[in-house]
Structure 1
Amino acid sequence: MTQMPSTRQCLRLDDVWKAYGRRQVLSGADLCVRAGTLVAVVGENGAGKSTLLRIAVGQVAADRGGVERVGPFGYCPQVAVLNDTLTVRQHLRLFQVAYGLHDLRRAHELMHFFGFEDCENARVASLSGGTRQKLNLTLALMHDPQLLVLDEPYQGFDWDTHRRFWELASILRAAGRSVLVVTHLVHEQEQFDAVRHLHRGRFLQEASST
């Protein structure tokens, strides 16, 4: 049975415009991510995906238009922002303080789920690329956000991370959480509730599996 999407919204962009100098990057982009849905934003290089994402997570202000975020979100940038000199546990502690969490219970659950709990005392410099991405996902999810935003995730996923990510995505959706994937190439399109195509700063069409 196909799950019906919620009417509650966790992210909405209305008529968003953004230019850098004379270069118009976004030209009236609209995006709605509802609670309990998996949404992909796809488009070729230069379509405006990175700018749209940075506006969505609050890193950049739109020139015009509205942005509404409801509840906390987790953000996985294309290049993981990790410190090679720190251990995995030190990263967890830093984000625990940043998120204001009482303990690391959820982080440890995620580490067990992704299968790298034995790396807690390892320095990040010693981790494989796949394990670094698992840590990146754990840091983004350890505060149980309403929305997980992923920027070009497939470039960093090894097969194990890829498989476990989709398993976790199903769990998150069932719990009313949402996932937004921004990429130039969508994999496993049938996994998404909606695929939005960004072209020259505008969304052209939407394909929905619901």
Structure 2
Amino acid sequence: MTVDDWLAALSAELRRRRIDPSGPVGEAAAHLRDSGQSPLEVFGPPAAYALAVVVSLRDATGEQLRPPSGEPRLRATGITKRYGRRTVLDGVDLSVHAGEVLAIIGANGSGKSTLLRICAGLLSPDSGHVRLRGTVGFCPQSGGTSDFLTPDEHFVLVGAGRGVGRTEAKARGRSLAAALDWAGAPRAGETRHLSGGTRQKLNLILGRLGDPDVLLLDEPYQGFDNGTYLDFWQQVLRWRDAGKAVVVVTHLLNELDRVDTVLDLTPGGMR
């Protein structure tokens, strides 16, 4: 089944279930374009994925799917951001507690990455405010690494900003790499020689250095193979169980059963 055939079948299944297919089909198409993976490998049969979308939309009300287990760690209130005449975010609220995983979903251009960068303190909103209790780690969707540094040098550099010594930073970075099935991190050479998926592993590790209280992850699994992708979600659940507050931007609606709260930024979507 080609990608176009799979997307057409998904669209038909969603229409049959009286769901507007434009958002879910657009998100799936964007992920498949960026990852180059097979739709059956990533999402499964169109009918099964359509059912997952229906379930996720039923639950994407902004209400808790299970009670939060700890104190509020991150709260964004009334966030508005404009680029020229285009309003990307309009009065968006977000709250995540310790021991909670929140997923941000939405069509391309709905402001998912913008909201995450505002929460990370990398971008200022036009209005609204963000309150953070504890330390924050950020994993961008792309970029974030230096071409001419080795992974170990990245660990030392970011570790220094976290107050972690050189030896400990290397050891911690290598341990996190091994958890993502990247035992070769110390021998990887300069980052410019790494594949896109391995660079994303490095970004994810750098976001975790220093054991932050809040993790902001912008589609961090881009380019991961299936095994590493599954390892990533297992790590997310372990971080939640350890009392971390985790925010994940994702296109993959079939993974929403792994999270506690969903924020849909699609215009007209549920929050």
Shorter-chain-normalised TM-score: which range?
0.7 to 0.9
Secondary structure of the corresponding residue to residue 131 of structure 2: strand
Q: Can you list the C-alpha shifts for 1:123-159, whole angstroms capped at 9, x where unaligned?
A: 2233333322222111110110111111123433222
The percentage of counterpart residues that share the same residue type is 43
State the aligned residue count: 203
Within the candidate set 29, 32, 39, 2:95 is matched to 32
Which of the numbers 206, 213, 222 marks the counterpart of 1:155? 222
> Which of 181, 186, 200 in structure 2 is aligned with 1:115?
181
Unaligned runs of 5+ in 1: none
* 1:3 Cα deviation after fit: 6.4
Matches within 5 A, 1:8-157: 8-102=71-165, 103-104=168-169, 105-123=171-189, 124-157=191-224
Q: Distance in 2 between matches of 1:80 and 1:169?
A: 21
Distance 2:87 2:196 in 1: 35
| Structure-2 separation of matches of 1:46 and 1:137 | 23
Q: Give the secondary-structure state (helix, strand or coil) at the position aligned to 2:110.
A: coil
Larger-Rg structure: 2
**21 and 126 in structure 1: CA distance in 2 versus 1, 3 angstrom threshold:** closer
TM-score by length of 2: 0.69
Q: Kindly tell me: are residues 73 and 186 of structure 1, through their superposed partners in 2, closer, same or farther at Cα, counting changes over 3 Å? A: farther
2: distance between equivalents of 1:154 and 1:172? 16
Q: Distance in 1 between matches of 2:238 and 2:141?
A: 23
Aligned partner letter, 1:62: P
Q: Structure 1: how far apart are the matches of 2:142 and 2:84? A: 26
Partners in 2 of 1:71 and 1:125 — Cα distance? 33
Which has a greater percent of helix?
A: 2
Q: Residue in 2 aligned with 1:205?
A: 270
Say whether 1:189 aligns with 2:256. yes
| Letter aligned with residue 30 of structure 1 | D
Structure 1: how far apart are the matches of 2:85 and 2:204? 36
- Larger mean CA deviation between 98-107 and 159-168 belongs to 98-107
* Matches for 1:166-181 after TM superposition, within 5 Å: 166-181=233-248
Distance in structure 1 (CA, Å) of the matches to 2:141 and 2:163: 25
Mapped contact 1:17–1:65 kept (Cα < 8 A): yes
> Against the structure 1 CA distance between its residues 160 and 128, is the aligned structure 2 distance closer, same or farther, given a 3 Å change threshold?
farther
Unaligned residue ranges in structure 2 (runs of 5+): 1-64
For normalisation by structure 1, the TM-score amounts to 0.87
Which deviates more from structure 2 when the two are superposed, residues 16-25 or residues 133-142? 16-25
Question: Could you tell me how far 1:174 is from its partner in structure 2?
Answer: 0.8
Relative contact order, higher structure (CA 8 A, sep 6+): 1
Q: Relative to total residues, which structure has the larger strand share, 1 or 2?
A: 1
Q: Which one is further off, 47-56 or 3-12? A: 3-12
1:57 deviates by 0.9
Q: Which residue of 1 aligns with 2:56?
A: none
